[in-house]
Amino acid sequence: METISKPMLKSSARTTRRMRIAILGTRGIPNQYGGFEQFAEKFAISMAGRGHQVFVYSSHNHPYSGSELQQVRLIHCFDPEYRMGTAGQFIYDLNCILDSRKRGFDIILQLGYTSSTVWSWLMPGGSLVVTNMDGLEWKRTKYGRMTRWFLRHAEKWGARYSNYLIADSKAIKDYLWDKYQISSLFVPYGAEVFEAADSGHPVFGRLGIVPGSYDLLIARFEPENNIALALQAYRSNGKRKLVLVGNHEHTRFGKRCSEQYGKCGNIIFAGPIYNSEDLQQLRCHAALYIHGHSVGGTNPSLLEAMGCGVTICAHDNVFNRSTLCANAHYFNTAGDLEQILADDTAADKSCWREENLKKVRECYNWETITDKLEQSFQEWISMSN
């Protein structure tokens, strides 16, 4: 067990001061990319609406070039990732951190640690640094040995040089305590209950499917998302239709999956779909939602599926179980999934769906998340004075 000591902060009464908050670690808002960007957009707009000054750092080549979005101020920094690849992320993070040194922020909320914590020693001393530690990035099989070595150290730097840590999963919270003996604040991603189901939506015609007649899997084509396992199970089953949403042309793994399973009549490689309305309609009209993610914390796409009221079949791991508890089917192998698919009543789990909808309304809604972070930020600032 490795212990990292945290700075002791003085206790004082809670204040209701208006805060200056910066959000680093995303490509920017409005969200064009993924979970961190979605979190940044929702949280920043909500906090700005409560009277706080909120700044989100954005890539200079983000499609939205404005300096403000719904009272949130955007700071565009040079981002050479489009030219340099992954190395450009480090330069972009450095540019954001250097800019933050002259802004006088009360809080710097750092989303993730992959390419930013190498610059932790440059963070402005007058700001409290709060880091969302994300999932266990070093476990991802797409990374080589040296990259995994670096990510382990980046995680350690994030834990060491942050004033406070946020865990988006209770399993991550437990891990941070076991590994570093550091307490973290559990703050999951948010979602919304989708209540605009439309069986006549054009997305069904475009994909050539009938609402309710298919199962759905939405994921990046990475091995740890267990896509190959799911494809094997559906090829063996044959009678159930799987719609697979993701850019299979983007990775070698995705291309192999397409080549091996693309001719199966019951498997549809739908490609990437970025329109949120299309995705929500696909989710809420699916018979089963297959969630194969095995690495990371509370997954945003899983919460969105819960908010659509679809029966979920998830890979059996501590992250998914901490979110879904007993309200899902679970699988470890292709054989496990085949048994579930063979059950004609697998989708008939109204009690599970209702429990998951209740969780989204009560635990994973954006207002509750904003309340928790706002109160914690206020308390931490008061303790530091």
CA 182/CA 6 separation, integer angstroms:
8
CA 109/CA 257 separation, integer angstroms:
38
Across 203-232, average pLDDT: 94
18: which 2 tokens? 């208006």
Residue 136 confidence (pLDDT) above 80? no
Mean of pLDDT over the chain: 89
Across 243-271, average pLDDT: 92
pLDDT tens for each residue of 19-34: 999 999 999 999 877 7
State the pLDDT at residue 140: 62
Domains and CATH numbers, the chain: 20-189+365-384 (3.40.50.2000), 202-362 (3.40.50.2000)
361 confidence band (pLDDT: 50, 70, 90): very high
Residue 143 confidence (pLDDT) above 70? no
SS3 212: coil
State the pLDDT at residue 364: 93
175: which 2 tokens? 């891990």
Q: What angle do CA 20, 24, 28 make, to 5 degrees?
A: 105
142 confidence band (pLDDT: 50, 70, 90): low
* pTM attached to this predicted model: 0.83
State the pLDDT at residue 15: 47
Across 183-207, average pLDDT: 94
pLDDT tens for each residue of 307-341: 999 999 999 998 899 899 999 999 999 999 999 99
39 confidence band (pLDDT: 50, 70, 90): very high
Spell out the residues 6+ positions from residue 307 whose beta carbon is closer than 8 angstroms to its own. 191, 192, 193, 194, 356, 357, 360, 364
Contact 369, 43 (CB under 8 A): yes
Q: Is pLDDT larger for residue 99 or for residue 144? A: 99
